[in-house]
Structure 1
Amino acid sequence: MTRSLFICYLSFIVLGIPLASGEAKDSTAVYIADRRELFVDQYLVQALEGEARQILHHPVPREVVLVSDRPWEGNGLNYVTVFQDGDLYKMYYRGGDYDRGVTSLHEQVYCLAISKDGIKWERPNLGLVKFGGSKENNILLTEKDEALGYICHNFSPFLDLNPDAPESERYKAVGGGPLFPLISADGIHWKKATDKPIITEGAFDSQNLAFWDSIRGQYRAYHRQFRSGRDIMTETSEVFSSGWSKPVFLEYSPGRGGELYTNQITPYKRAPHIFLGFPTRYEDRGLNPSTRHLPQWKYRQLRSKISRREGTAVTEGLFMSSRDGAHFHVFQEAFVRPGLRTRDSWFYGDNYQNNGLVETKSTLAEDAPNELSMYLTEATLQNGKPAKLRRYSLRMDGFVSINAPMKGGKLISKPIRFSGSKLSLNFSSSARGGIRVGFADPEGKPLAGYSLNDCPWIYGDSLTRRVEWIKSDKIVDNVGSIAGQPVKLVFELKDADLYSFKFD
């Protein structure tokens, strides 16, 4: 079997695309196997009844983890990448300092910070690059290196999960404009994989990125281009350093939601068949009466003198998702708003989310399960002040939920086929509310022993709550007898949120 045929076959099996032969009678049912399913789109939703609705959740701002106050850093902190590598968390971030957001006051550099928990970070003394006459710093790359140059404006590394990647190329990156491929054995010492750029069509003054897609067995990249404003293109390749497909613009539903500056798209680790994106929305409403009431009107005017958008444009975070990497469901409301602050906020350059999601210990309590962490810029491009990076946290799978108030509502899924014998939920409810789960045939007829009425109300707060039914006065949780059959899931909710479900 050729590699391309294998990838095609893998897509059929993993993504639920009906096979050309066998099981034709179930071709209308989505085969989800035992993968985790989130409600970040309408892919599995046939109907929402009563007061049930799909709602976007928002990450909670936590502590400031980095202040860019070293001489080689400055107010240009941005284009940050964070990932976990073994027992360490690694953060790659840009150092730069600018007058009113435009004029560079020293060369751009890329720096490394490390952490054991994703919360407390330190700068290792790398001794690689001289700045101000000393190599006592955490600089990895400098634009003074003629071989790198503009790569130090938008360097974007990743840990290559391709099982065929050699140890000498375990770390990879893209950067520059056009985009060049870089490789490293240790994530510290970098070199170009080739002297030829791999992606040439685009407007690369942004954080562009690439990664290994383990589900589809290929590298995928995303970069900026203009189409009625700032937009995103994507391309793929089986080999990182060459052979990239012609870039195509992303498609959006119900719409793009504004101009998109960065994209921050990544396969979600707990459900890698789903791509999650955290783009920066760029919004410039010009000079209007409200602009005068945003923080720091005098400084805003000062920035506008060198470039009007520096005083009028505002950036904030969005959330979107995709099942194929090209078509994205975009929530039109902000995922991260600029926030309730009276200075150093509501400016262009703030609220850029890092590339990458990491799992960290709960902020709530020692006995609480781990949560997701992301890192956003704030107080950037303020003359004479360092920028900051703040950690935000979110419940596992907690981007979007199906929610209903106490009045109640139902979610009815499209026909699915699953593997496994147990069903677990990631959910939260009040003490008075809860969730019930039932199975029905494709026509909607409840399955005996697995109907809503057979399911006792589930209440509490859990990432892995096993669903149970009462059959002949016994509590049962085994659904193996209906595995592989086309069925519908019916969720009834009261004052509850359902984030994801999984068979195993």
Structure 2
Amino acid sequence: MKSQLPCFIALGLLLSAATAMCEEMPKIVLDDLPLLFVDDSGIASRQGVIITLHRARTRAEPVMQPELPWEGSRIYVYGSVYYDEAAQSLSLWYMGHPDVDAQGNKPKVPGFRAGKGDMVLYATSKDGLAWQRPQLGLHSFQGSTANNIVFDMHSPSVLLDKRDPDPSRRYKMLGSLRGAYYAAVSADGINWKRFPDDRPVLKSSDNICLTQDPLTGEYLAYHRQPANKHGRSVSLSRSRDFQTWSEPELTFLADKDDHAWAKNADERTEVNNLSVYPHASGFIGLPTIFRVLGKDAEKTEVKPGQSPTDGIIEVQLITSADGLTWQRTDPRISLIPRGEPGSFDGGTILGVSSTCVHVKDETWIYYTALTTSHGAPIPPKMNAIGRAEWRRHGFVSLDAGQNGLVETRPLQLGGPALIINANAAGGEIRAALLEADGRPIEGYTAEDCEPLRENQTKWQVRWQASGSALPQGRPLKVRLQMRQSRLYSLSCGT
């Protein structure tokens, strides 16, 4: 791993705090998604704990870099990654950008439409580090189908939709082309077709992230709007059927604190894109914060492929209970630190995958890394893909001293056992179950609980009389007594 700044930053101290449960807040289902403690959206009260934000660990070398003609000199993880636990294999949809030839012409793929020339590419991996580019035989590039090209889109965001009863629409994609956003569907993630036809589903075009509301099943599209009085910003559009989308609502933009660094009139901060990940009580967002530099008087021309807008981009973390209104973390640190100058990610982190994956005891997010600032010429600018790593669900923790107490809002427990992800080595955590109104449940008190005194990402809670079986049929609260320990997440499972 690369050496870097300390990997965690305390966000604030709250020795005694209580947040009354709001009846109008949506219910929390603890099932496939964990409850993360990134904010108080899942917490009824807490005391004696601090919230700590953890920076990613990164690697000294990229996990993928351009090496094939249809990838050009730039590959991007404007795309998505999924982990198949049964097969113990990862699938990656990423983007290639073929270079122009000596005459200034960009190679074309028969059947692909005119646009930026970006291509959706597919790769697989067993360990998330060594990636294979299968020869799919689907599309011809310079006379050969021996490639991993699957579609033509810019910023392809892929959703594995387990709710849709139609198996031909198991995979869904949103991306941009020809000045608008288009949709596509696939049964296997490899063979794609336009959906519902060859018409755009949303206006304007650039970067987009597709996700799904875990409670309602609604599709959520976080897409960048053209620069306006806010500069680059992100809007949200919603859909129930993946065909008809709501008018964009402004969801996230730079504020006055983001602009505080600027010294000149033409310096500013913008939001380049936003990737959003749901959890049991809300959403976390990873926006890329773009500090746009002023015009350089010596920059008399922009070379082919060079962006006219220069500056440094970093990734931060934000949180939301509803996916529309976002809260900032304080301090606003880089969640994924850039590497040393001259390294593959030493210049800018352009964006992150639209999904994160959880493999054994770790959580991974893939990111697009630049060797230079955003607007540098090519060369020396090069793009590659890196991997940011955390402990499983380890973006944020609640850290307790001698007497910490955390009580959740009522949870609908969707599994047979309660799972705690925490580091209690040198301390302990005990769990109690309460009725939704706060009444204790006999046999499920903290005194009945077998304490966690280890560092575990998947510790199954047990009570002396009832074992690990959970009461069924109604929402319950979880109360955690903590001593010298660090709590990351709660989930249900086996």
- Give the alignment's TM-score, normalised by structure 1: 0.71
What's the offset of the Cα at 1:306? 2.4
Per-residue CA shift, 1:136-166, capped at 9, x if unaligned?
332334xxxxxxxxx5333333333233224
Per-residue CA shift, 1:212-234, capped at 9, x if unaligned?
54531332222112561222111
For 1:379, the equivalent position in structure 2 comes to 370
The letter of the residue matching 1:500 is: S
Per-residue CA shift, 1:76-128, capped at 9, x if unaligned?
312132224674532222222679xxx99764333222224433211122334
For 2:335, the equivalent position in structure 1 comes to 335
Inter-partner Cα distance in structure 2 for 1:190 and 1:422 = 39
For 1:401, the equivalent position in structure 2 comes to 397
Q: Kindly indicate whether the alpha-carbon contact (under 8 Å) linking 2:69 and 2:98 is maintained by their aligned counterparts in 1.
A: no
Check if 1:354 corresponds to 2:349. no
Match of 2:128 among 118, 123, 132: 118
Instruction: Number of aligned residue pairs: give it.
Output: 430
Match of 2:201 among 198, 202, 206: 198
Unaligned runs of 5+ in 2: 1-20, 108-116, 259-268, 372-376
Greater share of residues in helix: 1
Inter-partner Cα distance in structure 1 for 2:472 and 2:170 = 43
Per-residue CA shift, 1:343-401, capped at 9, x if unaligned?
454435x35212222233xxxxxxxx342222112235751675321223222221211
1:435 partner SS: strand
Check if 1:428 corresponds to 2:428. no
Inter-partner Cα distance in structure 1 for 2:23 and 2:199 = 45
The letter of the residue matching 1:121 is: W
1:137 partner SS: coil
Inter-partner Cα distance in structure 2 for 1:253 and 1:388 = 27
Q: Kindly indicate whether the alpha-carbon contact (under 8 Å) linking 2:418 and 2:490 is maintained by their aligned counterparts in 1.
A: yes
Quick one: structure 1 residues 445 and 346, their matched pair in 2 at CA, closer, same or farther if it must change by over 3 Å? same
Q: Kindly indicate whether the alpha-carbon contact (under 8 Å) linking 2:156 and 2:174 is maintained by their aligned counterparts in 1.
A: yes
For 1:188, the equivalent position in structure 2 comes to 190
2:52 partner SS: strand
Q: Kindly indicate whether the alpha-carbon contact (under 8 Å) linking 1:57 and 1:400 is maintained by their aligned counterparts in 2.
A: yes
Inter-partner Cα distance in structure 1 for 2:211 and 2:24 = 32
What's the offset of the Cα at 1:499? 0.7
What's the offset of the Cα at 1:498? 0.1
Inter-partner Cα distance in structure 2 for 1:229 and 1:210 = 22
Quick one: structure 1 residues 329 and 491, their matched pair in 2 at CA, closer, same or farther if it must change by over 3 Å? farther
For 2:164, the equivalent position in structure 1 comes to 163
Q: Kindly indicate whether the alpha-carbon contact (under 8 Å) linking 2:416 and 2:492 is maintained by their aligned counterparts in 1.
A: yes
What's the offset of the Cα at 1:48? 4.3
Alignment of 1:45-124 (within 5 A): 45-50=43-48, 52-62=49-59, 64-78=62-76, 79-84=78-83, 87=87, 88-96=89-97, 107-124=117-134
Alignment of 1:479-498 (within 5 A): 484=474, 489-494=479-484, 496-498=485-487
Inter-partner Cα distance in structure 1 for 2:361 and 2:478 = 31
| RMSD across aligned positions (CA) | 4.1
Quick one: structure 1 residues 222 and 311, their matched pair in 2 at CA, closer, same or farther if it must change by over 3 Å? closer
1:191 partner SS: strand
For 1:248, the equivalent position in structure 2 comes to 249
Quick one: structure 1 residues 301 and 463, their matched pair in 2 at CA, closer, same or farther if it must change by over 3 Å? farther
The letter of the residue matching 2:273 is: T
Match of 2:234 among 229, 232, 237: 232
- Give the alignment's TM-score, normalised by structure 2: 0.72
What's the offset of the Cα at 1:321? 3.4
Unaligned runs of 5+ in 1: 1-24, 142-150, 288-299, 361-368
2:326 partner SS: strand
Q: Kindly indicate whether the alpha-carbon contact (under 8 Å) linking 1:173 and 1:209 is maintained by their aligned counterparts in 2.
A: no
The letter of the residue matching 2:312 is: V
What's the offset of the Cα at 1:477? 5.0
